[in-house]
Amino acid sequence: MAFELEITHTQGRARAGTFTTPHGTVQTPAFMAVGTLATVKGLDPLDLRAMGAQMILANAYHLHLRPSDALVRQMGGLHRFMAWDGSILTDSGGFQVFSLEGLRKIDEDGVDFRSHIDGSSRRFTPESVMRIERNLGADVIMQFDHVPPGQSDVPVARDAMERSLRWLARCRDEFARLLREDADAPTPEQALFPIVQGGIHAELRRESARAIVDMGAWRGFGVGGLSVGEAKPDMYAMLEVVDDVLPTDRPRYLMGVGYPEDLVEGVRRGVDLFDCVAPTRMGRNGAALTQDGRINLRNARHRDDPGPLDEGCDCTVCTRFSRAYVRHLFTSDEILGLRLLSLHNVHFLVALMQQARTTLADGTFDAWSTEWLARYLAGERARGAVARPVTPHPKR
Amino acid sequence: MAFELEITHTQGRARAGTFTTPHGTVQTPAFMAVGTLATVKGLDPLDLRAMGAQMILANAYHLHLRPSDALVRQMGGLHRFMAWDGSILTDSGGFQVFSLEGLRKIDEDGVDFRSHIDGSSRRFTPESVMRIERNLGADVIMQFDHVPPGQSDVPVARDAMERSLRWLARCRDEFARLLREDADAPTPEQALFPIVQGGIHAELRRESARAIVDMGAWRGFGVGGLSVGEAKPDMYAMLEVVDDVLPTDRPRYLMGVGYPEDLVEGVRRGVDLFDCVAPTRMGRNGAALTQDGRINLRNARHRDDPGPLDEGCDCTVCTRFSRAYVRHLFTSDEILGLRLLSLHNVHFLVALMQQARTTLADGTFDAWSTEWLARYLAGERARGAVARPVTPHPKR
């Protein structure tokens, strides 16, 4: 049945399962590649399918501005438009709108903002965002929320959290109306996920999660406002707080996360779904994920390296191309280079979650994840030169 | 046997056949996609294989400068380096070196020039170019020739043509030495193609072709210095002159050509192999080839067009994506856009040559090619707004 999560294996807080959507099933835990503008940058939907991806993400804010949700709907909805017949989740655009410092004005009803493309005046309300996400036709749609700056203090985080709850009620009502009155939308049966907010404040996170649970029989839950500059232990602590409150039989989606170590740590704390632009952004910047940390392919030491990006990786890049070749593509500004690195990096995270599922199934997840993290983080420390991307907000 | 051309069907001057190389057979007539720097811009070797491409081109000048032919050889040669196990032809770089106006100095022995990348001083001679092409390991390698400016008058064209003949003799001798003394090169058995020069002067073309034929038992012939600004009737006339002289049982490669109509006109005049950067360059610029001429996907009239790039095309782009989607990718600067258009455009020319082979096999080539040209050129005239790329030298 659509939007059921069948949990098949657990170990501690970690879980493996199958999440059913109108466009197929998603084995969890899973990493969703980010296709902000209805394309995962540099990749073809066939690439995603071939690497085992089952669910991807798109962005309501971006698609509303270009090419417009009306056009996407006219073209048959997001799945048809981008030729991806698997599951899709749309983020509401709350994060994007609230990131428009100086270009937006918040009131209780919604947000006035200027388009980052042409400066035109726009207004998002919980209701308008539901209509946009209805037009796009993703399987799972996220509520419109008030996203406070990372590391906000309690009063600011509380204000945003409470407004997000009030907006959630309005999203819920408008979504229910659309389900009834707009039945011929591209994906008639969609699921609305609420978003747990509360910054890095345990009591706010707990309060947000409890209030959301009390508001309805949700098909799943988003956890937002993390990986925005806070210390990693703070993020991990919030996940445990939220895991204690949310029902175990619904998927939890940790928004905008993340890096390989965050995925593994997230799974250890009961997270089922992740998304992040990091693998494709890193790919465009010349960096590859390996089980020994990130490497920079622009580095001269790869000049004559006949080995694959990541030893033992079975992706279509590592089985065919050398580091020397990928480096040549980058030094020559050939776009195949960023395509190959994006392919490898997305595959890396998709396969990492597959490993988590496999080890959960055979009961070795704890040992595997501990060992995996030790090796990856040791590699990262050894190569201190490979800095994190400077952006403090990789995505939400 | 390697480098045999088996002609299976003819109609007038047109021929269909099978050209055997150390890396497989090539059905002719064929379009070779251009992978200047060991990558067909934006495409994966698997894409080329899937669309039926059998032979591609790379460039000795560019690869010598970056990443260097020595490195390519160290990595196992061009086939291994770029993960393309089909046939490859390398252009010698004569065209590129002679295009470096103001940065090169020609003498009888060779050419001094400055690298377009770092300004470093370099020297090409017929002998050094043979060693470069030996290191790269293509199946077919082109001689180092003196390429005069397009539309050169008879004295200039004659001088270049005669020097090309003298350099051909030196290429032949050095290549023979390498076959003997450098037997463990990446592709031990290669074929050297001479290049017929002579500008748009029939008597020079005839003289060049005859002199070349008298110089050895060549495995095939290049026809260079065309599609460099001369009128199309002049180019077509030169092909007929050359066809009259060259032996019919060897492949003829028309270098740097070209546009769809030039391919069809070339086949009608006995050409077997073509190459051109136009399909990928046009793809990066937002233009698609269709049987009714070129269209510009940036044009607003494609905004809500649910149809494919080219009606009836069975490529992986046209069977999945709408013009509206491809236009969205271009207006959003998404790199998938140029990848999809490059894919479609290269497929268009590969499939066009497949149609030529099919109609040659069933005896309908004359009628098919006449009809095809009429429709394509009518579409081009109707859309006069779609100008040719401004560069007078699409490639050689």
pLDDT at B312 over 70: yes
What is the token pair recorded at B121? 């001083």
What is the token pair recorded at B8? 């299976």
pLDDT at B385 over 80: no
**Which of B69, B272, B275, B310 is an active site residue?**
B275
Contact list, A74 vs chain B (CB under 8 Å): 304
With 0-12 CB in 10 A as exposed, 13-18 as middle and 19+ as buried, what is A217? exposed
Residue B392: pLDDT band with limits 50, 70, 90? very low
Whether residue B20 lies within 8 A of chain A, CB to CB, comes out as no
Distance in angstroms (rounded) separating the CA atoms of residues B182 and B177: 8
pLDDT tens-digit map of A191-207 = 999 999 999 999 999 99
What is the token pair recorded at A162? 């409470």
What average pLDDT does range B31-43 have in this prediction? Answer: 98
Give span(s): CATH 3.20.20.105, chain A.
5-276
Q: What is the pLDDT of residue B149?
A: 87
Per-residue pLDDT in tens (0 to 9) along chain A, 396 residues: 799 999 999 999 999 999 999 999 999 999 999 999 999 999 999 999 999 999 999 999 999 999 999 999 999 999 999 999 999 999 998 889 988 888 899 999 999 999 989 999 999 999 999 999 999 999 999 999 999 988 899 999 999 999 999 999 999 999 999 999 999 999 999 999 999 999 999 999 999 999 999 999 999 999 999 988 889 999 999 999 999 999 999 999 999 998 999 999 999 999 999 999 999 999 999 999 999 999 999 999 999 999 999 999 999 999 999 999 999 999 999 999 999 999 999 999 999 999 999 999 999 999 999 999 999 999 999 987 444 443 334 344
**Which of A91, A139, A243, A310 is an active site residue?**
A91
Distance in angstroms (rounded) separating the CA atoms of residues A142 and A194: 6
Whether residue B149 lies within 8 A of chain A, CB to CB, comes out as no
- Is B112 catalytic? The answer is no
What average pLDDT does range B28-33 have in this prediction? Answer: 98
What average pLDDT does range B391-396 have in this prediction? Answer: 39
Q: What is the pLDDT of residue B229?
A: 87
Report the Cα A196 to chain-centroid distance in Å.
15
Q: In what order do the strands lie in the sheet with B195-196?
A: B191-193, B140-142, B87-91, B55-59, B30-34, B273-275, B252-254, B221-223, B195-196
According to the annotation, is B182 in a ligand binding site?
no
When CB atoms are compared, the residue of B39, B45, B75 closest to A334 is: B39
Whether residue A19 lies within 8 A of chain B, CB to CB, comes out as no
What is the token pair recorded at A363? 């009961």
Q: In what order do the strands lie in the sheet with B111-114?
A: B104-106, B111-114, B121-124
Contact list, A82 vs chain B (CB under 8 Å): 325
Looking only at the bridges linking them, the beta strands covering B191-193 and B195-196 are unpaired
Contact list, B335 vs chain A (CB under 8 Å): 41-42, 335, 338-339
Share of chain B above pLDDT 90, in %: 91
Q: What is the pLDDT of residue B94?
A: 87
Q: What is the pLDDT of residue B58?
A: 98
SS3 letters across B115-165: CCCCCCEEEECHHHHHHHHHHHCCCEEECCCCCCCCCCCHHHHHHHHHHHH
Superfamily of domain A5-276: Queuine tRNA-ribosyltransferase-like (3.20.20.105)
- Is B314 catalytic? The answer is no
Looking at chain B, which residue has its C-alpha nearest residue A334? Answer: B41
pLDDT at B390 over 90: no
Residue keyed to tokens 């000048």: B61
Secondary structure of residue B220 in the 3-state scheme? coil
Q: How many CB atoms lie within 10 A of CB A392?
A: 11
Report the Cα B57 to chain-centroid distance in Å.
7
